Structure 1
Amino acid sequence: MSNDREPTVLYEVRDRKAYLTLNRPDRLNAIDFHMPGELAATVKRANTDPRVHVIVLQGAGRAFCSGYDLKISAEDGQGTQADKAWDPIKDFAAMKEFTDDYFSLWRSLKPTIAKVHGFAVAGGSDIALSCDLVVMADDAKIGYMPARVWGCPTTAMWVYRLGAERAKRMLLTGDTIDGRTAAGWGLVLESVPPDGLDTRVEELADRIAGVPVNQLAMQKLMINQAYDNMGLHGTQILATLFDGITRHSPEGRWFQEFAAAHGFHEAVKWRDSGRWIPEGGGPIPTPEDLQSP
């Protein structure tokens, strides 16, 4: 890690608990090209730290994680092979590495708890849903808005946590839901008032921290194996390939060109408004189009 920038994930240990903190608060902890690898490295550190029985993942500042930093990827074209033939395997390898980094939370032998406030959206929902347990603030939002255009959730955890129909409800619309709804649907463990989030996560983590590490590992491995038996790994391969295709389809290229022309904020505003995304791409909206309802 270079010495001229802050780490994107902080590490602290207290009372048998490792606290991993996503650390780009000025960007609502949006995922840059350093964060996935640094997250996996801190999970590995916690797993080899004899002081640690349970891992708590949280976000600094006003949100857990607002997804990939599309100001980099969409406005500058770094998320696409825009000026040359698209190599789907090169794209897959890069995104699979990110997915595996997030899934270090799921594969961790020590239990992981996501503490979600503000937002856990787009790629941020991939990170949160890779944890064993998720506790949300009632007013926090979770969703995968790029399902409308330019994305597919590579961890595929929506279907494994929600079942087919509600996963389709979320991914066919790109809507977000609040913590209360997420808990009611069984997407997350529970939802609590915002001022009680820290206390509730500490209670849960302390309860787990009293269990021997070997017992915790055996319970996790047994439960995770059931998901592997249901095809989790194969589903993630398909989702990761599809994610690359969404960014290089005619509609995906249209979205990137829109962001390059008018900025990420305007592109996302159009995407999330429910306005039609033109089939086959089509012309980039004009400034006058942006003002019309």
Structure 2
Amino acid sequence: MPDYLDILTSKNDRHGVIQLNRPEKMNALSHNLRAELFNALKDFELDPEVKVIIIRGSGRAFSAGYDLSGISQANDDRDYVEKRSGLPSVGPIHPGQGQWPQHLLSGYWQIWELTKPVISQVHGYCLAGGTELATMCDLMFVAEDAIIGYPPVRAMTPVDVLYHPWQMHQKKVRELLYTGDSVTGKEAVEIGWANRAVPVDQLCKVTEAFAERIANIDSPMLQMTKRQVNRAYEIMGMRTSMQVGADIQELGRARPGGGTFGRMSREKGLKAALDWRDSPFEDYASAPAGSPKPSGATW
């Protein structure tokens, strides 16, 4: 496999590992990181020795979200599209308004369509775009104390990828998306968002052991089973609902007041914008002194 700048890759027994590797940025999902991630997934897809793929993060978080550098600088629709130059190749380009969420969906459907199961191994902060990546994997194993949530719905836009209704009860969907609040890894399992929660020091061992358990099934059988499950959810409307959700996300960005966060970020800096967004809730970037805080990317 090629050398990468923002991820690490390895093979252990019958599973491959892709490790997001921007720990100084809490694994913020830059365009380059996502491009490398998709390339590594394709490489493992073609490797006959790999039967299951694990995605995890370096440092103290899985991912704090999309890298906001540049994104929050967009001033109008033309700038908004221009800021998307250099996007990873994930299929359709979707130029014009609404390009960003549709582009994200094109990438996540690649994970969906891989023949091999993909497991997200989540620890620390898993926020906003980080939750989209983790959730769109086939399985999600989490640390009990992981912090998982989608704070951008407080002031920026509705969610880019509306996976929530397919993961948990309607009332919990509304609770989380009406507030942007987070849940712990343990709570994520209780509401159906994740498969298993274990102490963080056991997470790697448990996730890899389960990957090897899956690997006992021959690859053609796994491929057919994954396709069977995928198609059932597609018939129920999962793809269409996410595409419609992406269209509404764009409407949310264009709403009155929709440019406040970006303007504040340009004029006062990203930290000030995040404090403005989260201070009424006293969490995330505006948590009380002494509390752990994400920084740099919470889209």
Into which bin does the TM-score normalised by the smaller protein fall? 0.7 to 0.9
2:203 aligns with one of 197, 203, 212:
197
In the other structure, the counterpart of 1:81 is 77
Asked if 1:49 is matched to 2:47, the reply is yes
CA spacing shift, 1:219–1:83, aligned 2, 3 Å: closer
CA spacing shift, 1:114–1:64, aligned 2, 3 Å: same
1:224 aligns with one of 223, 230, 253:
230
Q: What's the % identity of the aligned pairs?
A: 31
Deviation of 1:85 (Å) = 10
1:235 aligns with one of 213, 223, 241:
241
| Distance in 1, Cα, partners of 2:185 & 2:219 | 30
Give 3-state SS (helix, strand or coil) of 2:180's partner.
coil
Which range moves more in the overlay, 111-120 or 235-244? 235-244
Give 3-state SS (helix, strand or coil) of 2:63's partner.
coil
In the other structure, the counterpart of 1:291 is none
| Distance in 1, Cα, partners of 2:252 & 2:214 | 40
In the other structure, the counterpart of 2:255 is 249
Contact between 1:18 and 1:54, CA under 8 Å: does it hold in 2?
A: yes
**What letter corresponds to residue 43 of structure 1 in structure 2?**
L
Contact between 2:153 and 2:179, CA under 8 Å: does it hold in 1?
A: yes
1:144-223 maps to which residues of 2 (within 5 A)? 144-223=150-229
| Distance in 1, Cα, partners of 2:101 & 2:43 | 23
**What letter corresponds to residue 53 of structure 2 in structure 1?**
I
In the other structure, the counterpart of 1:10 is 8
Deviation of 1:37 (Å) = 2.7
**What letter corresponds to residue 56 of structure 1 in structure 2?**
I
In the other structure, the counterpart of 2:89 is none
| Distance in 1, Cα, partners of 2:78 & 2:267 | 14
Unpaired segments ≥5 residues, structure 1: 276-293
In the other structure, the counterpart of 2:272 is 266
Name the one with the larger helix percent. Answer: 1
Contact between 2:65 and 2:129, CA under 8 Å: does it hold in 1?
A: yes
In the other structure, the counterpart of 1:70 is 68
| Distance in 2, Cα, partners of 1:213 & 1:260 | 49
| Distance in 1, Cα, partners of 2:189 & 2:101 | 29
In the other structure, the counterpart of 2:149 is 143
CA spacing shift, 1:219–1:85, aligned 2, 3 Å: closer
Give 3-state SS (helix, strand or coil) of 1:29's partner.
coil
1:93 aligns with one of 88, 99, 112:
99
Report Cα offsets for 1:201-254 as digits up to 9, x if no partner: 111111011111111111111111111011111112112222223333232201
Give 3-state SS (helix, strand or coil) of 1:250's partner.
coil
Give 3-state SS (helix, strand or coil) of 2:18's partner.
strand
Contact between 2:30 and 2:66, CA under 8 Å: does it hold in 1?
A: yes
In the superposition, the TM-score normalised over structure 2's length comes to 0.83
| Distance in 1, Cα, partners of 2:225 & 2:233 | 13
CA spacing shift, 1:269–1:106, aligned 2, 3 Å: same
**What letter corresponds to residue 137 of structure 1 in structure 2?**
A
| Distance in 2, Cα, partners of 1:161 & 1:36 | 23
In the other structure, the counterpart of 1:29 is 27
| Distance in 2, Cα, partners of 1:101 & 1:85 | 18
Give 3-state SS (helix, strand or coil) of 1:211's partner.
coil
In the other structure, the counterpart of 1:60 is 58
Contact between 1:174 and 1:272, CA under 8 Å: does it hold in 2?
A: no
Give 3-state SS (helix, strand or coil) of 1:90's partner.
coil
